[in-house]
Structure 1
Amino acid sequence: MPAQNAVPPFAHRCRVYYEDTDAGGIVYYVNYLKFMERARTERLRALGFSQSELVGENLLFVVHSTQARYLAPARLDDELEVTAHVVELNRASLRFMQQVRRASDNALLCEGQFLVACVRADSLKPRGIPQALRAAFANDPSSLSGE
């Protein structure tokens, strides 16, 4: 189901630390994926769901596939704004569109798409997204416009 509204997506702010950079002081490419993972986790938290609670309910979200495009470098001490916008909500998966921007000038540094599958924690077999979580995403104006 595609998103159909213009409400800004959820955004999480973070800072680039020394450990995130390579020898040249530029963010190492794989760390953008970590920043995006944190934004997805904070998106769940903002909707009232924590990863630890979900594991207790025998539920995990795992990345099935990803695409990333790197446009400009982030550097040591940059403040970043990382969005997590749900553009597709299926029975057992979510598709996120994400962007990493430098907060000081809103420059787009990296953008990606993530298909995240819902699985049972004990067997890693697919399972449906619980209704309460589906409803939270479906009713969130910064994600989907509803079903």
Structure 2
Amino acid sequence: MPTSNDPRLLTFTWPVRVYYEDTDAGGVVFYANYLKFMERARTEWLRAVGYEQDALRERCGILFAVRRVAIDYLAPARLDDCLSVTSRLVRAGGASLEFDQQVMRDGDGTCCCRAAVKIACIDVATLRPARLPGDLLSDLLPFASGPAETLP
């Protein structure tokens, strides 16, 4: 199991290239697709710290669902851009996780968008809120880096 001493996991970065399917008629990333990019980065972060979502579903009977997103779109990403999506766990609570995420354009470092994302842990059978399993929570707590960024 990786530890919070690994700085790559405190602010995790996942690369994304913009494909034609990600864009609108003008060749600009369609706004909802930033959410998909962020979802991938959170999933890969969870995998990097040692947890697979399908295993959590099978073994623990839990799923993760987005509860809330506050997103700020700052600059367009375009067809063929290479992007870096960062995920930083800022809080791990009894039944939720909170992340700060950014989508940056490689090359010039422009921040295309940033978001505060709250994830709810839910029971597979009831689809109602559920507590994070104790071992999962204790493994994730060291990665929580503090207060979430406040969006303008």
Q: TM-score, normalised by structure 2?
A: 0.85
CA distance in structure 1 between the aligned counterparts of 2:78 and 2:141, rounded to whole angstroms:
36
User: Is 2:123 the counterpart of 1:137?
Assistant: no
Deviations 1:50-77 (A, max 9, x none): 1111111211011111111000000111
Is the contact between residue 137 and residue 144 of structure 1 (CA under 8 Å) also seen in structure 2?
Answer: no
Whether contact under 8 Å (1:16, 1:78) holds in the other structure is: yes
Match of 1:24 among 23, 26, 35: 26
Partner of 2:114: 111
Aligned-partner SS, 2:37: helix
C-alpha root-mean-square deviation of aligned residues, in Å?
1.3
Deviation at 1:106, TM superposition (A): 1.2
Task: Give the residue type in structure 2 aligned to 1:47.
Answer: V
Tell me the SS of whatever aligns to 1:65. Answer: strand
Q: Secondary structure of the residue that 1:100 maps to in structure 2?
A: strand
Tell me how far apart the structure 2 counterparts of residues 110 and 32 of structure 1 sit (CA, whole Å): 8
Residues in 1 aligned to 2:36 and 2:79: alpha-carbon distance in whole angstroms:
16
Give the whole-Å Cα distance in 1 for the aligned partners of 2:61 and 2:108.
42
Q: Distance in 2 between matches of 1:10 and 1:131?
A: 23
Q: Aligned to 1:63, what secondary structure does the other structure show?
A: strand
Bigger drift between 113-122 and 127-136 goes to 127-136
- Of 46, 66, 73, the residue aligned with 1:44 is 46
TM-score, reference length from structure 1: 0.88
Partner of residue 9, structure 1: 11
Task: Give the number of aligned pairs.
Answer: 137
Gaps of 5+ in 2: 1-6, 147-152
- Provide runs of 4+ in structure 1 moved above 6 Å: none
Provide Cα deviations, 1:113-147, integer angstroms capped at 9, x if missing partner: 1110101011111111112221222223xx437xx
Q: Deviations over 1:73-116 (max 9, x none)?
A: 00111111101111111100011110000111111000001110
